[in-house]
Amino acid sequence: MLLEHDWATTPLGPQADWSPTLRTAISTAVNSRFPFLLMWGPELVMVYNDAYAPMLGARHPAALGRPATEVWSDIWPALAPMVDEVMAGRATYSEDLPLVMYRHGYEEETYFSFSFSPVVEPGGAVVGLLDTVVETTHRVLAARRLGVLQRLGSLPRASHGDTAEAVATALGVLADARSDCPLGLVYLVDGDGGPPQLVAAQGVALQDELATSVISERVRWATATGETQTVTGLATLLPGLSTVGASAVAQADVDTAVVLPLTAAGAEQPVGALVLGASPHLPLDEDYRIFMTLAAGQVAAAVADAQAVAAERRRAEERARSDQARAQFFTDVAVTLQRAVLGPTALPAGFAVHYEPATGTLEVGGDWYDVVELSDGAYGVVVGDVVGRGLPAAAVMGQLRSAGRALLLESGSPGHVLSALDGFAALIPGAAVSTVFCAIIDPFTGRIRYSSAGHPPAVLVDHGGTVRLLEEGSSLPLAVTDRRERPEAELTLSPGSTLLLYTDGLVERRDEALDEGIGRAADALVEGRHLAPAELSALLTERLLGDAPDDDVAFVLYRCG
């Protein structure tokens, strides 16, 4: 696309007239798999690579060769001071910066982490800036929604048997989360077979009109069939619906709502329906719908619990079912949200990964993994573990994972990555004493370099079944002493070798020594060394996690070709 573009019609002029500095800057951006944007000259002409294009939305490909002030006019007031600073010769860095942009036809709530760096000509003149950027909207929203679900899961059990009060309490949590839930309505089915009745609402200014609106029709359908319904066009049908405070981004009518059946554990029919308005500033994607479904699950659990208390004859049975539903809810939330933070599971050939939360808890942990494709064809592989549980640990994990990924893309040295993470971890409350195992694997030569910051040793099994623990290159966990150079070790993997990187939840059990658990993992690797990575992952899960671990587990498998 860059080569085919008519640059002669842009301020950059024909390619033949480009300066060596411009050519070098464009080459750096275009040949990277990390999103890069180059803004060149007084006009700040935009040149970007394929990885950056999705961030532009509908503005791509017309943005190529145009001034950044025009392309990003909606967010330029926020960017202009940073650009001025870079043009004065100073780099900038912003983490999870909130930006409201109009790239998909509506005012969208987005978040980005990026660094602006000056591009300098020989002689010292700043002639452009390089933007190294990653969109963090997905992670920020996942963490925010996890907090809402965690509050819902922490509500006290209903001891009064008042269903309406239990529902109102749950809606009170959603009322504090209007960026994702600008409005909420709960309808419950009467015992006499009548239509569902509105029992609680938040964020709605037109409840009387809503009672006879198209929403009520969708509620009746959802409670009769158990199917989720989506209502659109509300901004036209009900102007003024939940406008004020619908989002921290901007004021806008809620146009879309999702009607979710409230199905209690063991019930044949839904007990009601939860109507949640969708933010007019966010896409109603799969993650958003999963969040709404999990919220509906907790509201359903609250309804079922209150009804069980009111019905003394079914008290024991109903409470057992509610407990089972609640435990399943906790597991679903932990798996869904932790995997949302860890990102997509599309992996290079030869890799398999697995994450599993501790049994029966919503308190996600700080275990993580990452597989990064590097520019030279090698793979950076990281497994880490943050001390603690819950949102604080998950937040620290997300920051360390993002930093580790960025460092791997810049450095070919595992020791350098861990040394840099030392300084980063020292600045983040709760990051100290985190353990990390970092390796760089060349799939063409089988060469692997690795370094460990207090992490359990990786396990290597060759094609013949010989086991080796990668214990060299080890040092203390992150940020426990003054910064120092981290040692590295190196070896060559033979074809057919299998490498396992893991967190301690895979091998650590209360009633046995850690070495015994590592031995069990090694035995499973030897037994399954001829299986494909995905099948071997399933075998490890069956053999090592069948006893319901009480700690989070993350592991990465690699099979050398």
pLDDT at 121: 92
User: Is residue 2 a part of any domain in this protein?
Assistant: no
User: Is residue 535 a part of any domain in this protein?
Assistant: yes
Instruction: At 321, list the tokens.
Output: 């079912």
Mean pLDDT of the chain: 86
Percentage of residues of the chain with pLDDT beyond 90:
55
Whichever domain contains 64, its CATH number is 3.30.450.20
Do 366 and 292 sit in the same domain of this protein?
no
Domain boundary among 110, 135, 160: 135
User: Is residue 177 a part of any domain in this protein?
Assistant: yes
pLDDT in tens, 17-73: 899 999 999 998 888 889 999 999 999 999 999 999 999 999 999 999 999 999 999
User: Is residue 361 a part of any domain in this protein?
Assistant: yes
User: Is residue 152 a part of any domain in this protein?
Assistant: yes
Kindly state the average pLDDT of the residues 333-352. Answer: 66
Residue (of 455, 460, 493) closest to 474 by Cα position: 455
Q: Grade residue 313 by pLDDT with cuts at 50, 70 and 90.
A: very low
Contact in structure between 204 and 183 (CB atoms under 8 Å) = yes
User: Is residue 190 a part of any domain in this protein?
Assistant: yes
Do 172 and 293 sit in the same domain of this protein?
yes
Domain boundary among 311, 336, 361: 336
pLDDT at 312: 54
Do 406 and 527 sit in the same domain of this protein?
yes
Do 160 and 84 sit in the same domain of this protein?
no
Domain count, the chain: 3
E strand or H helix that includes residue 257: strand 257-262
pLDDT in tens, 514-533: 899 999 999 999 999 999 99
CA distance 198 to 561: 61
Do 186 and 105 sit in the same domain of this protein?
no
> Which segment of 60-64, 234-238, 425-429, 548-552 scores lowest on mean pLDDT?
548-552
**Domain limits for position 466:** 344-559
Domain boundary among 336, 360, 385: 336
Choose from 5-19, 79-93, 479-493 the range with maximum mean pLDDT.
79-93
Do 400 and 538 sit in the same domain of this protein?
yes
User: Is residue 1 a part of any domain in this protein?
Assistant: no
CA distance 25 to 505: 45
Helix locations, 343-437, DSSP H: 390-410, 414-426
Do 495 and 370 sit in the same domain of this protein?
yes
Kindly state the average pLDDT of the residues 361-375. Answer: 80
pLDDT in tens, 118-152: 999 998 899 999 999 999 999 999 999 999 998 98
Q: Grade residue 361 by pLDDT with cuts at 50, 70 and 90.
A: low
Kindly state the average pLDDT of the residues 228-238. Answer: 85
Contact in structure between 544 and 357 (CB atoms under 8 Å) = no
Do 364 and 316 sit in the same domain of this protein?
no
| pLDDT above 90 for 412 | no
Whichever domain contains 385, its CATH number is 3.60.40.10
pLDDT at 210: 59
348 cis-preceded (ω within 30 degrees of 0): no
CA dihedral sign of residues 388, 390, 392, 395: positive
Do 351 and 411 sit in the same domain of this protein?
yes
CA distance 386 to 551: 12
User: Is residue 513 a part of any domain in this protein?
Assistant: yes
Do 128 and 275 sit in the same domain of this protein?
no
pLDDT at 561: 84
| pLDDT above 60 for 341 | no
Kindly state the average pLDDT of the residues 182-206. Answer: 82
Do 116 and 153 sit in the same domain of this protein?
no
Whichever domain contains 263, its CATH number is 3.30.450.40
Do 184 and 329 sit in the same domain of this protein?
yes
Residue (of 322, 287, 317) closest to 302 by Cα position: 322
Kindly state the average pLDDT of the residues 222-230. Answer: 91
520-521-527 Cα angle (round to 5): 90
